[in-house]
Structure 1
């Protein structure tokens, strides 16, 4: 008879028997910060190029709020820029209905341009 719960001292994990297999007892840490793509990029940038600012935000407990704010602002700015650029270039719903692949290509180009601007202005500064 196999034990229901075991502990592996080598890796420090406990396991529970499920059928014929032991699966690790993993739990999601609710305190783990969750920020999007731009927040992650900002964190990497701060760690590498602005270590004093990164440490300050970390020590004061403001890092997660800062990264979430940068992520939110960046996403909103990308969306706004995309609308403006699409309008300026005449990329409309009509283009989407007439030639979907052309519309997708144009929108991908617009998104890349908008993201490049936002990364320079908001994330990597």
Structure 2
């Protein structure tokens, strides 16, 4: 039996240890750069999509996936907040006239935008 083999189907190499071929896995020690949405996505994958999580982890694509998801989610939240603020007439004039009302509206807008993004991007 060969000491090492390569499986072209999954792109992994294996080394013979006793009677078994074990995958040659290398832990990537990259510092994660993702934020809130990346962490939420990681937790969701771990708990509800464990096969996908394991695949991303073993292929070394987990951090890339989490960084991309985090970036896209932040951009989506910003865009939704801007659109919602325009529809609800939250302007600098309102901010000058009634600051507390403006803060309340913006907090509600942010919560709504985050809820939409979480449902459509993170928890799917």
TM-score by length of 1: 0.75
Structure 1 gaps of 5+ residues are 1-29
Q: State the distance in 2 between where 1:80 and 1:45 align.
A: 24
Q: State the distance in 2 between where 1:100 and 1:63 align.
A: 42
Aligned to 2:82: 83
Q: How many residues are paired up?
A: 96
Structure 1's consecutive aligned runs of 4 or more residues displaced over 6 angstroms after TM superposition are none
Aligned to 1:15: none
How far is the alpha carbon of 1:82 from its aligned partner?
0.3
How far is the alpha carbon of 1:33 from its aligned partner?
1.1
Do structure 1's residue 94 and structure 2's residue 93 form an aligned pair?
Answer: yes
Q: Deviations over 1:58-103 (max 9, x none)?
A: 0000000100000000000000000000100111111111111110
Q: State the distance in 1 between where 2:120 and 2:35 align.
A: 17
Aligned to 1:57: 56
Q: Deviations over 1:28-71 (max 9, x none)?
A: xx832121000000000000000000000000000001000000
TM-score by length of 2: 0.75
Structure 2 gaps of 5+ residues are 1-28
